Amino acid sequence: MKNNNIKLSDVRADLGQYANKEKAKILQRFFKTDKGQYAEGDIFIGVTVPIIRKIARNYLELKLDIVVSLLKSIIHEERMLSLLILVLKFQTTDLISKQKIYLVYLEHTKYINNWDLVDLSAKYIVGSFLFDKDRNPLYELARSNNLWEKRIAILSTFYFINKNDFTDTLKISEILLTDEHDLIHKAVGWMLREVGKRDLTIEEEFLAKYSKLMPRTMLRYAIERFPEQKRKQWLLR
């Protein structure tokens, strides 16, 4: 599809045709949108991820300013569509354009404000871009007061993990070790588990040092794939 003349309203209409009120109600409960919850006020229209992915592939050539406008939407699925388009653009363009997308991403983290949005985009844009560069931006994100920026920091290292590079995952895990939020506990534990899939010794060395300090949820996620008896031993330490 040629997108040079596509308007923001056209993209929204394309996505909106798949809206489902019943699914929207389920998603609003699942993603904790009630008052006082982590995604308070987020609005869903009930479009599934596979459909959003399919739509994203039709807008690879969409102008970047329109993609950014979509990212600023109050509707969750529109923000997801924007991020999936950014990922596709990033994966199919040159280094200068990759840098532009990376910078746009970091300039708009306030809109990347739920765990699924982070998980579908951080490693593919931030992790990929920083793999062969200075990674200090990840440490700034990890020390942020913003929940989602901290999750972006640790999830971005998933790209490094897939390249058998674990150093930054472990260092950022240390920074986030005593974070209070459950979504950070789960993210760090998940990344430690991914490290362990590739090098169990490195994961267990980290756990030996920090298992008594880390939240139980973080530890449980980290040892989820261990044999049952081994899991019990770690939990009893």
Q: What would the pLDDT profile of 71-116 be if each residue is shown by its tens digit? A: 999 999 999 999 999 999 999 999 999 999 999 999 999 999 999 9
Is it the case that residue 4 has pLDDT exceeding 80?
A: no
Phi, psi of 43 (to 5 degrees): -115, 130
Q: What would the pLDDT profile of 24-41 be if each residue is shown by its tens digit? A: 999 999 999 988 888 889
Mean of per-residue pLDDT scores for the chain: 95
User: Which pLDDT value is given to residue 227?
Assistant: 94
Phi, psi of 75 (to 5 degrees): -95, 125
- Domains within the chain, CATH numbers bracketed: 1-109 (no CATH), 121-237 (1.25.10.90)
In this prediction, what percent of the chain has a pLDDT beyond 90?
92
Cβ 78 vs Cβ 70: under 8 Å: yes
In this prediction, what percent of the chain has a pLDDT beyond 70?
98
Q: Which residue has the tokens 């699925």?
A: 77
Q: What is the pTM of this model?
A: 0.95
CA distance 211 to 215: 8
